[in-house]
Amino acid sequence: MIPGCIRSLSRQSSHRNYGSWSKVASLFSSRKNNYATEASFETKPFRLHKLDSGPSTHVSVTKEDALKLYKQLHTIRRMETAAGNLYKEKIVRGFCHLYSGQEACAVGIKAALRDQDSVITAYRAHGWTYLMGIDPVGVLAELTGRQSGNARGKGGSMHMYARNFYGGNGIVGAQVPLGTGIAFAHKYQNTGGVCVALYGDGAANQGQIFEVYNIAKLWDLPCIFVCENNGYGMGTSVERASASTEYYTRGDYVPGIWVDGMDVLAVREASRFAVDHCTSGKGPIVMETATYRYSGHSMSDPGTSYRTREEIQEVRQTRDPITSFKERILNANLVSAEELKKLESEIRKTVDDAVKIAKADKEIPLNELTTDIYAECLETEIRNTTPFNPLSHARLGPAVNI
Amino acid sequence: MLTSAVRGIARRSFSTSKCSAVQQMTVRDALNSALDEEMEKDERVFLLGEEVALYDGAYKVSRGLWKKYGEKRVIDTPITEAGFCGIAVGAAMAGLRPVCEFMTFNFSMQAIDQIINSAAKTFYMSAGKVNVPIVFRGPNGAAAGVGAQHSQCFGAWYSHCPGLKVISPYNSEDAKGLLKAAIRDPDPVVVLENELLYGVQYPMSDEALSKDFVLPIGKAKIERVGKHITLVAHSKAVELALEAANELAGKGIEAEVINLRSLRPLDINTVVQSVAKTHHVVTVEQGWPQCGIGAEISARISESEAFFHLDSPVIRVTGVDGPMPYTKSLEAVALPQTPDVILAVNKVLGVSQ
Ligand SMILES: Cc1ncc(C[n+]2csc(CCOP(=O)(O)OP(=O)(O)O)c2C)c(N)n1
Ligand SMILES: [Mg+2]
């Protein structure tokens, strides 16, 4: 029951040695304390669809960037672990879709984006929200439904927003046309920006995605369609849901690229390529990131009835996006173990503090039940549960498009 | 993989009274046994939807059915509501009896075109040539802690459309009897189940445990007899109406509680007869007020002779007229509570609190 993408990946990687993650050149100039300031690595080959050439498999990273990427990867992992615990403590209600295992996708893409670019994703949105500028308190307090939450606790785990980040959508596939619309706005307003619209392997089958592939190509919209292939849509493996699991080719006339989504540098490289593609007027591109989700679909799903514990263990041990990146930058002498330790303990503290706030914080007052239903409410009052005690509407949020 | 429904039949008690000897069954098991019995009875009946087979259903309503009937008749679909719903409608046109499960009715919005424009209208457009015997089912209504996109009632949406039949069961007997009726019905039937009630046990009479048990679509049920006021509700709001009625009884107010069971056709006769006796009506629902079920009942009463029996206006108890917040305390007040029903009853009866 192991999906093809995972099978082929694990074949390529031997235990504890991250396959083609061999360091090719690590020592650059200006060495300090015997540490390099930049290192280069070889990524797994990209797979291309309707493209003459792809990104270079030879990627390099500076020390500064490596630390930044590591910090982001590690923060998301820690935050998700905290979120899972809050759910188990019954402080997070309803859904709680963790991103653990998939961190390199978001972190790698984000590293290639410029200030003018936009992002929209589905309900597995905690990591992206953080990357787009919301601190862990904003994320975790949203999960606990408290006032410091990114959406004041009104949105919940699936609905968070930031500048150039349009959410968090709970309807599978719906965010992809929205992302195409955001790309349309970029083009219309000549911002030079692109929109990254992310969706899962399950969502990849939704009809509306094919509708907007066509329109995006027809109108040359600067949209990067990112299919995060984590092997499963809920309890259904990719083979059971998709007639073709080559998601990067499924845009047909839209060029595509497959990237190892567990390699943050490969994702960054592919994303830079995709941004270039879109901004050079060639229109949209599809990017499939081969990845894996460690937890169940949502916290209520143990995630072990449709896949084996061994499969999860295998990925954790051989493909983990964080451990592998860590080993890489350590082996390349780009960073020291102490530096990473220090970073890790800072992150731990940040997230622990955020958890405390997210637990202790208040919920918004009841009168906010009827705030921000409309940007401009034309009704004098909002009907309550009976006609005898009407509520008033109030505006609170910044309403960016007025 | 026997469901408790099946086990229940095996050790069915002989008592017919409403005491503790009556078999209890969850709504989930009642739905499961309805599907099971109808699939056993009619080869043309098949179930399709997301996660209905290998995973036993996202809410485990189809537990054991894939094992029992195999992949020909219990079919996992990709996450493509517009596609598989259309396929189900087409299959019904061609003589099958599909049961199309939406993981929740929120996602039926992806496919509402096929339900309204294909399923509901084809019989009419074909001048009675092509009927569409299909069931669309799944959990509907407010759920808990899932935010605005996953917590809403589609009763008003679907019951608005001629050509559809729409049922909204409350307890286990409703669920079993109405789903079986829906599967046997020659027209498209939308079955609005309630997620929060799936795990709740209700008594099942001997009759309801039988394979021949079906409830008529379009008939309401009087859950509680009373003479001072009529409370009309559907789905989980029936529970609320019953709770309010209990509390009111302590103050000497006898409320009659009508469980609509069916939203289209709407059993207005049962409501009218009750109003002729009680002269007062409060409707109770969890959905939004505008063009809602209560609004429809109120209008039908105004248009009927029941209007002349009224001693005061019909009052609606509904969900608050806004999207559902995730915030726990706000979510609670976004939905009607017992005190809201009591308030409305007191106002209607002119009783000071
Ligand atoms: C339109 C719609 N249908 C069904 C669902 C229920 N649902 C939520 S997530 C999900 C699985 C999606 O899988 P995938 O796209 O692979 O994303 P992943 O969860 O793996 O990140 C399903 C079926 C939904 N939210 N919206
Ligand atoms: Mg997936």
How much is the ipTM here? 0.92
* pLDDT tens digits for range A209-247: 999 999 999 999 999 999 999 999 999 999 999 999 999
A30 and chain B in contact, CB less than 8 A:
no
SS3 A260: strand
Query: Is B103 near ligand 1, meaning CB less than 6 Å away?
Result: yes
Res. B305: pLDDT tops 60:
yes
Segment B39-63 mean pLDDT: 98
- Taking CA atoms only, the protein residue closest to ligand 1 atom 21 is A200
B294 CA distance to ligand 1 centroid (A)?
Answer: 33
Contact A382 B321 (CB under 8 A): yes
Segment B234-249 mean pLDDT: 98
Residue of chain B whose Cα is closest to the Cα of A381? B321
Q: Which of B37, B38, B101, B150 is catalytic?
A: B150
* pLDDT tens digits for range B310-352: 999 999 999 999 999 999 999 999 999 999 999 999 999 999 8
Quote the strand ranges of A56-214, DSSP E.
58-62, 118-120, 195-200
A168 and chain B in contact, CB less than 8 A:
no
pLDDT of residue B270: 98
pLDDT of residue A288: 99
Res. A21: pLDDT tops 70:
no
Q: Which tokens in the block code for residue B290? A: 């505008």
pLDDT of residue A2: 41
pLDDT of residue A91: 97
What distance in Å separates residue B57's CA from the closest CA in chain A? 10
Segment A67-96 mean pLDDT: 98
Residue B96: C-alpha distances to residues B104, B121, B123, B190, B206 (Å)? 23, 18, 15, 17, 31
Proximal ligand: closest to the CA of A208: 1
Res. A157: pLDDT tops 60:
yes
Q: Which tokens in the block code for residue A354? A: 């955020």
Spatial strand order of the sheet with B315-317 comes to B221-224, B255-259, B229-233, B281-284, B315-317
Give dist(CA B122, CA B343) in Å, integer.
Answer: 45
What distance in Å separates residue A315's CA from the closest CA in chain B? 23
Q: What is the mean pLDDT of chain B?
A: 95
Active-site residue B150, yes or no?
yes
A359 and chain B in contact, CB less than 8 A:
no
* pLDDT tens digits for range A159-207: 999 999 999 999 999 999 999 999 999 999 999 999 999 999 999 999 9
Mutate to test the interface with B, among A386, A389, A391, A395 (most CBs of B within 10 A): A386
Choose between A285 and A36: higher pLDDT. Answer: A285
CATH T-level fold of B221-349: Rossmann fold (3.40.50)
Contact list, A306 vs chain B (CB under 8 Å) = 54-55
Query: Is A124 near ligand 1, meaning CB less than 6 Å away?
Result: yes
B318 and chain A in contact, CB less than 8 A:
yes
pLDDT tier at A29, thresholds 50, 70, 90 = very low
Q: Which of B81, B193, B285, B296 is catalytic?
A: B81
Q: Which of B83, B110, B322 sits opposite A369 (nearest CB)?
A: B322
What distance in Å separates residue A304's CA from the closest CA in chain B? 11
Please state the length of chain A: 402
Give dist(CA A242, CA B76) in Å, integer.
Answer: 12
pLDDT of residue A33: 58
Residue B78: C-alpha distances to residues A241, B62, B89, B175, B338 (Å)? 5, 17, 17, 27, 41
Contact B76 A305 (CB under 8 A): no
What distance in Å separates residue B290's CA from the closest CA in chain A? 9
pLDDT of residue A20: 43
CA angle B44, B47, B50 (to 5 degrees): 155
Active-site residue B279, yes or no?
no
Residue of chain B whose Cα is closest to the Cα of A174? B110
* pLDDT tens digits for range A85-119: 999 999 999 999 999 999 999 999 999 999 999 99
Q: Which tokens in the block code for residue B118? A: 């294909």
> What spatial distance separates the first Cα and last Cα of chain B, rounded to whole Å?
53
pLDDT tier at B20, thresholds 50, 70, 90 = low
H/E stretch holding A258: strand A256-260
Give dist(CA B269, CA B273) in Å, integer.
Answer: 6
Same fold yes or no, B25-209 and B221-349: yes
pLDDT tier at B297, thresholds 50, 70, 90 = very high
Segment A254-281 mean pLDDT: 98
Strand partners, A300: none
Helical packing angle, A103-112 and A321-331, nearest 10°: 60
Helical packing angle, A136-143 and A63-88, nearest 10°: 20
Proximal ligand: closest to the CA of A234: 1
Helices of type H across A230-336: 238-241, 264-277, 309-319, 321-331
B317 and chain A in contact, CB less than 8 A:
yes
B43's CB contacts (< 8 A; 6+ apart) are none
B334's CB contacts (< 8 A; 6+ apart) are A369, B142, B319, B320, B322, B324, B325
Q: What number of other Cβ atoms are within 10 A of residue A244's Cβ?
A: 9
Please state the length of chain B: 353
Q: Which class does domain B25-209 fall in?
A: alpha beta
Residue of chain B whose Cα is closest to the Cα of A170? B149
pLDDT of residue A28: 46
Give dist(CA B80, CA B85) in Å, integer.
Answer: 8
- Taking CA atoms only, the protein residue closest to ligand 1 atom 13 is A233
Asked if B75 and B98 touch (Cβ cutoff 8 Å), the reply is no
Cis peptide before B188 (omega within 30 of 0): no
pLDDT tier at A18, thresholds 50, 70, 90 = very low
Lowest mean per-residue pLDDT among A31-35, A140-144, B148-152 = A31-35
Residue of chain B whose Cα is closest to the Cα of A90? B145
Q: Which of B149, B330, B343 sits opposite A369 (nearest CB)?
A: B330
Segment A262-283 mean pLDDT: 98
pLDDT tier at A35, thresholds 50, 70, 90 = confident
Please give the backbone phi and psi of residue A229, each rounded to the nearest 5 degrees, phi first.
-90, 100
Q: Give the B window 56-85 contacts with A, CB below 8 Å.
A: 58, 76, 78-80, 82-83
Contact B289 A383 (CB under 8 A): yes
* pLDDT tens digits for range A328-361: 999 999 999 999 999 999 999 999 999 999 999 9
Pocket test for ligand 1, best of B80, B103, B106, B108 (most atoms within 8 A of CB): B103
* pLDDT tens digits for range B78-113: 999 999 999 999 999 999 999 999 999 999 999 999
A170 CA distance to ligand 1 centroid (A)?
Answer: 8
Give dist(CA B25, CA B13) in Å, integer.
Answer: 13
B68 CA distance to ligand 1 centroid (A)?
Answer: 27
A159 and chain B in contact, CB less than 8 A:
yes
Enumerate the domain spans of chain B. 25-209, 221-349
Give dist(CA A231, CA A237) in Å, integer.
Answer: 6
- Tell me the percentage of chain B whose pLDDT exceeds 70: 94
Encode chain B in three state secondary structure: CCCHHHHHHHCCCCCCCCCCCCEEEEHHHHHHHHHHHHHHHCCCEEEEECCCCCCCCCCCCCCCHHHHHCCCCEEECCCCHHHHHHHHHHHHHCCCEEEEECCCHHHHHHHHHHHHHHHCCHHHHCCCCCCCCCEEEEEEECCCCCCHHHCECCHHHHHCCCCCEEECCCCHHHHHHHHHHHHHCCCCEEEEEEHHHCCCEEEECHHHHCCCCCCCCCCCEEEECCCCEEEEECCHHHHHHHHHHHHHHCCCCCEEEEECCEEECCCHHHHHHHHHHHCCEEEECCCCCCCCHHHHHHHHHHCCHHHHHCCCCCEEECCCCCCCCCCHHHHHHHCCCHHHHHHHHHHHHCCCC
Asked if A185 and A179 touch (Cβ cutoff 8 Å), the reply is no
Q: Give the A window 374-393 contacts with B, CB below 8 Å.
A: 382-389, 391
Contact list, A207 vs chain B (CB under 8 Å) = 80, 82-83
Q: What number of other Cβ atoms are within 10 A of residue A205's Cβ?
A: 24
Res. B147: pLDDT tops 90:
yes
